[in-house]
A = this chain, B = another copy of it.
């Protein structure tokens, strides 16, 4: 009697929790056959609901112990705003969000040291002609959590053929 979509949400949630979970395990958890889950996962991938898989990495262990948020604002507000493309080559930038508010973008960056952050800030200012405001992360109580999906959410979009 529950909507079919329940199962897709369950699959997405399970894979968010363990991106390497086998189809066999997904099948057991969802009560479907292996081939049915397989088919659903492939369909979710094709539709872009599942956009890929990644490992969660300890940035401290790979020599990038420092995280910061950098808000940027164009120095010349009349110039075309192509900051994301201009900054894309800086691999220390993990994410770039266009935001409402005083500044135009928020960047999340990972660097090895204060010196590395200073250097990155100079590169950002030079590459995109922006002023910056930096907020250094001291610790991260949690990250990469996945929300509980209830039937109110996603039903319309996930339910299309």
The proximity string for A residues 131-161 relative to B, scoring 1 for CB distances below 8 Å and 0 otherwise, is 0000111111111111111001111111000
Given contacts A56-B54, A58-B49, contact A94 B145 (CB under 8 A): yes
Contact yes or no, B110 A147, CB < 8 A: yes
Contact yes or no, B16 A54, CB < 8 A: yes
Given contacts A61-B49, A62-B12, contact A98 B54 (CB under 8 A): no
Residue of B nearest to A142 (CB): B96
Taking CB atoms, residues of chain B closer than 8 Å to A50 are 55-58
Q: Which of A17-56 contact B (CB under 8 A)?
A: 17-20, 47-56
The proximity string for A residues 65-103 relative to B, scoring 1 for CB distances below 8 Å and 0 otherwise, is 001010000000000000010001001111111111100
Residue of B nearest to A100 (CB): B136
Taking CB atoms, residues of chain B closer than 8 Å to A20 are 19-20, 53
Given contacts A15-B54, A50-B55, A57-B51, contact A63 B154 (CB under 8 A): yes
Question: Which positions in A face B, CB cutoff 8 Å?
Answer: 9, 12, 15-20, 47-58, 60-64, 67, 69, 84, 88, 91-101, 105-106, 110, 112, 135-149, 152-158
Question: A19-B54, A95-B145 given. 14 additional CB < 8 A pairs?
Answer: A15-B54, A19-B52, A48-B61, A51-B58, A62-B153, A62-B157, A63-B149, A69-B97, A91-B148, A92-B147, A94-B143, A97-B137, A98-B138, A99-B135
